[in-house]
Chain A
Amino acid sequence: MIAELGHYALVLALALSLVQMVVPFWGARKDDPVLMGVAAPVSLMMLAFVTFSFGALMTVYVTSDFSVLNVVENSHSRMPLIYKFTSTWGNHEGSMLLWVFVLALFGGLVALFGGNLPDRLKANALAVQGAIAVAFLTFILFTSNPFTRIISPPAEGRSLNPILQDPGLAIHPPLLYLGYVGLSIAFAFAMAALIEGRIDAAWARWVRPWTLAAWVFLTLGIAMGSYWAYYELGWGGWWFWDPVENASLMPWLAATALLHSAVVMEKRDALKIWTVLLAILAFSLSLIGTFLVRSGVLTSVHAFATDPARGVFILGILTFFIGGSLLLFALRAGDLRQGGIFAPVSREGALVMNNLFLTAATAAVFVGTLYPLALEMISDAKITVGPPFFNITFGGLMLPLVFAIPFGPLMAWKRGDLLGVAQRLTVAAAVAVVAIVVTAAATGGGPVLAAVMVGLGVFIIAGALTDIAERAGIGRVSARVAFARLKGVPRSAFGTAVAHLGVGVCLIGIVCETTWSQEHIASMKVGDSFTIGSHDLTFLRIENRTGANFTARTAVFGLSTDGEPEGNIEASRRNFEARQMGTTESGIRTFGFSQLYLSMGEETPDGHISVRATWKPLVTLIWLGAVVMSLGGCLSLADRRLRVGAPRPAKAKPRQDKRPAPQPAPAE
C-alpha cells in the first residue's frame, strides 16, 4: 500500500507542478497578486508530496518489499541497513526521484524565504521551477517509474551493484544533486528577469547566496566522488577525465564563474547581462550532465540509438530548456539595463578575467567530452579524448587563472592599481620563491616545472593570507589594533581568502601526487617484503573473511618504518554472491598528508598474489583543498550582510590627469 501511496503522491506532485507553472505565470502577466500568491503554497505542497513519495520509496527499500520491481532489481534482504537506504538512489529511477526531490526542496526554500522578493520575480521564478518539475516528473512517471509493481513477488532481490555498496553512495549523489539542482534557482531567477525584461535590486542579492550554496555542495560532491573512486576502484587514480566526472566538472566551472560575476553584480550593479547568461549556462550544463549520465549514451552510443526512449526524452527536456532560455536571452537581453562602469584594471576587471578563463576552460572540457560522442554518433568512428588533451587545454587555461588569484581580492573596486597590488604581494612572492628552491633541493632537483608549480600553490596560499593581513593592517599598525581590525574583517572576506587558499592547497596536492608518486608492482608469496617511500611492507598472511553479504580474500601486510613496526595494512578482494561480482578493497594508510595505497590483484594457484603499492606524497591535499574551498564558501554564505562595493575614492594625490573618466570596461 505504501508503494501505491508514494506513486499517487508523485502523480499529484506532477499535477501541482502544472498548477505552479501556469497560475503564477499568468498572475505575473496580468499583475494579479492573488494568482501570484498561489506560487508559494503550491510549491510547498509539491515539496510535501515529492518528499512523501521519496519517503515511500525509501520505506519499500528498507522493508525489502519485493513487490516493487525497482527494489527487486537493486536491493537484497541481507544487505546492511545503510545500503538498503542508499540503494533508493543507487539506481536510475531512484536517483531521478532524488533529483526531483532536491528540485522541489529548492523551490520550497524559495517559497519560504522569498518574502522580501518582488512578487513578480518570485512568481516567475517559481513558475520556471514548476516547469522544470513538470518535465522531470513526466520523465520519471513515463520512462523511469520507480513504483512499477510485480504481481508475484520474488523472495529475494538482485542486490545493489557491489561497487556502490559503500558509504560514499550515502553522501556523494545527494551532495552532487544539491549542487546540480541548486543551480536551477539561479536559472529560474535569470529566466524570471528575462521574462520581465528587468533585473531587480533583490535579484543579485538572491542569486549569489543560492549559487554559492549550490557551489559548496557541488565542490564537496565532486571531491567526495573523486575520493570514492580513488579508494574503491583500486586504481589509486583520483581523476580520470571520464565523461561522468566531466559532467560534474562543467557545471562546477560555470558555477564558479557565476559566483564571481554575481559578486560584481551585487556589489557594483555591473555585469548584469553576463551574469544572467552564466546562470543559464550553469544550469544548462547541469542538465547536460544529467543527460550524459542518465540517458545511457555513455554506456553505449549504439544502445542509446536503438533504445532511445529515455535518452530522447531527456534530450527533449534539454533542448526545450536550454534552447528556450537562450532564445529568450537573445530576445530580451537588450532590454536589461546596463549597470555600473569600471576600469579594466579593477576588482571588476579581475573578475571578468576570471570569468573569461573559467568559461574557456568549461568550453575545453565540453568539447573534449562531447566531441567523441558526436563523432561516434554520426560516423561510427570511435575516438578517445584522454588526459593529454585535457591536461593541455584545461591546464593551460587554469594556470594563468590561478596565478591571478592573489591579485583579484587586493584590487580596488572600479579602478585599481596593479603596481600597488604587486608591491603588496612581494612577501607572498618571496615565500613562493623560497618554496620553489626548497622543493627543488628536497627532491634532488627533480622536474623544475613541478617545483615551480608547488611555488605557485604556495603563492596562492600566501596571497590569500596577504589579503587578510592587508585588511587587518598587520605590519602597519600595532598588534592590538591589528587584532581588533582582524575581528572586524567581514566573514565574506575571510570566505574569499579561505576559498582561494583551498585552491593553492589543492594545486600542491595535485602536483606532488602526479610528480613524485612511487609505484611498486610485485608478485608476492607469504613472507616476501619490499620497501616503498621509506616504508617496509611484509606479506604476512592471506585469509578468508565473511561479511554480511560477501566473502573476501584478505591479504594482511605488516608495515614498518625504519624498523619500527606500525601495525598491519590490509587489502582484499570481495565477492558478492547475489550478483556474482567482485570488488577490490584497497588498503590505505595515511602518514601526515601522504598516503600509502595498497591494492591486491589476482591470486595464482601456487599462492602468489599480485600486489600494487603506491606511495602518494601529499595526495590528501587534493581533497582537503576542496574541503577548504567549500569551507570558504560556507564562511561567505554565513555573511548575510548586504553588499555594496565601495570604490576607493580618488585620493588627494591626483595624478596628472586630474580625475580620469573611468573607462567603461567591455564587460557587457
Chain B
Amino acid sequence: MTSAPLFVAFAAMTAIAIMAVLWPLSRRRLARSERAADLAVYRDQLAEVVRDQAAGRLSAEQAEAARIEVNRRILAAGARDDAAGEGTGSTGRRRAAALFALLLVPAVGAGLYMTLGSPAVPGAPLAARLAAPPDGNDIAILVRRVEEHLSANPNDGRGYEILAPVYARLGRLDDSAQAYRAAIRTLGPSVERYSALGEVLTAAADGMVPQDAVKAFTAAVDIDPRAVKARYFLGLAAEQDGRKADAVALWRSMLDEASANAPWRPLVEAALTRAGAAPKAGAPNTGAPAVSAPQAAAPGPSAEDVAAAQQATPEQRSAMVMGMVSRLEERLAAEPKDLDGWLRLARAWSVLGDKAKAGAALQSAMTAFTGDEDAGRRIEAARADLGLGG
C-alpha cells in the first residue's frame, strides 16, 4: 500500500535539505573579522552620540564623555592582536563538508525514517472516512455511522441488534450490553437477545456470571425452557456459586434432551467432567468440530475470547479476530463438507470488509456441495443476503 508519490516527496525533501548545505559551500565568501565588526559597532555608536547631541538628548558634556568612552574602546580594539585573519576557505575542507552532508542527510533521514515511520499506513482524515462509500473496510466508521443513526433514531431496534455483537467483537463489552438492552427495549424480549446480553455481561465480568447476567439468562429460559446457551450459563453460575449439584443436574438434563450431534455437546460434557460428574454414558463424543461456545446459529467468540479481547490492544484484537477466522478457514479446508461453516466464513469475511474472500468462500461451498440443490439454494440466498451480487 506504499504510495509512490510519498517516496517521490521524500526524495524531493531530501534533495532540498542537501541543497541547503551544498549551496553555501559552493559560494566564495570572505570572513568578517571580529576587529572589523567591533570597529563597525563603535563607529555606529559615535554616530549615535552625535545624533543624540543634535536631538538634545545628551548635553555637550555628556556627549563628550560618551565620545571619550567609545574612543577608549576603539583604541582597545585596535590594540588587540587580531588572530582571526580574514581567512579564506580551503577546498579540502569544503569537499569534506559537502561529502559529510551528502552522506549524513540521506543516511540519517532514510535510516531513522525506516525504523520510526509507517509509510504503508494511509492517512485517514475523519471527513474522508465518513464520506467514503460504506464498503465495510472501516469497521470503526461503520459502528460510528450506526451510532449516529441511533442517536437520531433511538427507537430503531435493528440498529442496536447490528451493533451489539460488533461491540462485543471490538471488546467494548459495556457498550454491547447496553445495545442488547436497547434492542430488548425496542424490539421486545427474545431468547437470543437475553442470552447474548447475559453472555456479554459474563465476559465483562471476566467469565464470572454476575447477578445481572443470571437475570438475563433466567429471562431467556422463561421464554424458552429449552434455551441452550442460557441453561449452560445458568449451570455455570450455579457451579460458581458452589451449588455443584444444581449445575450438574441442569447440564445433565441438557444432554438428555439434546440430539447426539448437537455441536455444543462436548462443551457441556467437559463442564460436567470439571464439576466432577461423568457425562452420561451413551453420549457419543465424536470429535465434533471445535466450536468454542454453545451457539447453534450465530458464530461468535466465547465469553473467554471476548473477555480477552477487552484487555487487548486494537492490534491484538484484530489479530484475534483474524485468528478465529483463519481457524475456521483451515478447518473447512480439511473438512469441506460443512455448509454452515462455509456460510459462517463468508459472513465473517463480509463483516471484516473483504468481499472478495466472502465471495470465494461461497464459491468453495458451491464446489464442495456440487449437485446438492438444497445447499445451492442456501448459498445463493446467502450471496444475496451479503450483497455479493449474482
Contact = CB atoms under 8 A, between A and B. Distances in A.
Contacts of B32: 117-119
B37 A201 contact: yes
A202 B38 contact: yes
B124 A67 contact: yes
A533 interface: no
A120 B34 contact: yes
A67 to B, nearest CB: 4
Contacts of B13: 5, 8-9, 12, 49
A145 B109 CA distance: 15
B25 A77 contact: no
A646 B94 contact: no
Nearest to B69: A644
Nearest to B127: A63
Interface string B72-111: 0100010000001111111001100100110011001100
A114 B61 CA distance: 34
A38 interface: yes
Interface string A1-43: 1111101110110111011001100110011111111101110
Given A33-B89, A151-B121, A200-B34, A63 B116 contact: no
B152 interface: no
Contacts of A14: 108, 112
- Interface of B (DSSP majority class): helix
B21 A67 contact: no
Interface string B1-35: 00101100110011011001101110111111110
A1 B126 contact: no
Interface stretch (A153-161, A257-265, A500-508): A153-161
A134 B124 CA distance: 31
B90 A32 contact: yes
A334 interface: no
A617 B54 CA distance: 48
Interface in B132-155: 138-141, 143-144
B42 interface: yes
Contacts of A612: none
Contacts of A200: 34, 37-38, 41
A45 B119 contact: no
B49 interface: yes
A4 B118 contact: yes
Nearest to A34: B89
B144 A156 contact: yes
A36 B109 CA distance: 23
B212 interface: no
Interface string A211-245: 00000000000000000000000000000000000
B224 interface: no
Contacts of B14: 12
Q: Which of A5, A15, A152, A340 has the most CB of B within 10 A?
A: A15
Given A42-B20, A201-B73, A644-B66, A34 B27 contact: yes
Interface string A442-484: 0000000000000000000000000000000000000000001
A118 B37 contact: yes
A186 B289 CA distance: 75
B256 interface: no
Interface string A99-120: 0000000000000000011111
A64 interface: yes
A201 B121 contact: no
A589 interface: no
Q: Which of B3, B14, B42, B121 has the most CB of A within 10 A?
A: B121
B44 A141 contact: no
A664 to B, nearest CB: 16
Contact of B56 (A118, A269, A488, A649): A488
Contacts, number: 249
A379 B108 CA distance: 43
A121 interface: yes
A485 B58 CA distance: 11
Interface size class of A (residues with CB under 8 A): 35 or more
B371 to A, nearest CB: 41
B40 interface: yes
Interface residues of B, number: 86
Contacts of A205: 41
A1 B123 CA distance: 5
A659 to B, nearest CB: 13
A67 B121 contact: yes
A601 interface: no
A92 interface: no
A619 B320 CA distance: 59
B126 A77 contact: yes
A553 interface: no
Q: Which of A37, A156, A641 has the most CB of B within 10 A?
A: A37
Nearest to B16: A45
Nearest to B32: A119
Contact of B21 (A23, A31, A64, A65): A23
A291 interface: no
Given A8-B13, A488-B56, A646 B62 contact: yes
B104 A41 contact: no
Interface in A52-80: 60, 63-67, 77
B55 A198 contact: no
Contacts of A647: 65, 69
A642 B45 contact: yes
Contacts of B34: 118, 120-121, 198, 200
B121 A149 contact: yes
Contact of B314 (A42, A65, A154): A154
A31 B65 contact: no
A546 B122 CA distance: 35
B42 A201 contact: yes
B125 A65 contact: yes
Contact of B104 (A15, A77, A153): A15
Contacts of A116: 37, 40
Contacts of A287: none
A215 B170 CA distance: 51
Contact of B126 (A7, A65, A488): A65
B133 to A, nearest CB: 16
A31 B85 contact: yes
Contacts of A151: 121, 314-315, 318
A15 B62 CA distance: 52
Contacts of B227: none
B45 A153 contact: no
Contact of A44 (B3, B20, B36, B318): B20
B129 interface: yes
B63 interface: yes
A7 B27 CA distance: 31
Contacts of B33: 118-119
Interface in A123-157: 141-142, 145, 147-156
Interface in A581-639: none
Contact of B116 (A3, A60, A64, A145): A145
B100 A63 contact: no
A648 interface: yes
A18 B112 contact: no
B48 interface: yes
Interface of A: 1-5, 7-9, 11-12, 14-16, 18-19, 22-23, 26-27, 30-38, 40-42, 44-45, 49, 60, 63-67, 77, 116-121, 141-142, 145, 147-156, 198, 200-202, 205, 269, 340, 484-485, 488-490, 641-649
Given A23-B101, A641-B52, 11 more contacts: A1-B123, A12-B14, A12-B105, A12-B109, A27-B93, A38-B97, A65-B125, A116-B40, A201-B73, A485-B56, A644-B66
Interface of B: 3, 5-6, 9-10, 13-14, 16-17, 20-21, 23-25, 27-34, 36-38, 40-42, 44-45, 48-49, 52, 55-58, 61-66, 69-70, 73, 77, 84-90, 93-94, 97, 100-101, 104-105, 108-109, 112-113, 116-119, 121-127, 129, 138-141, 143-144, 314-315, 318
6 contacts: A8-B10, A19-B21, A38-B97, A45-B16, A60-B123, A116-B40
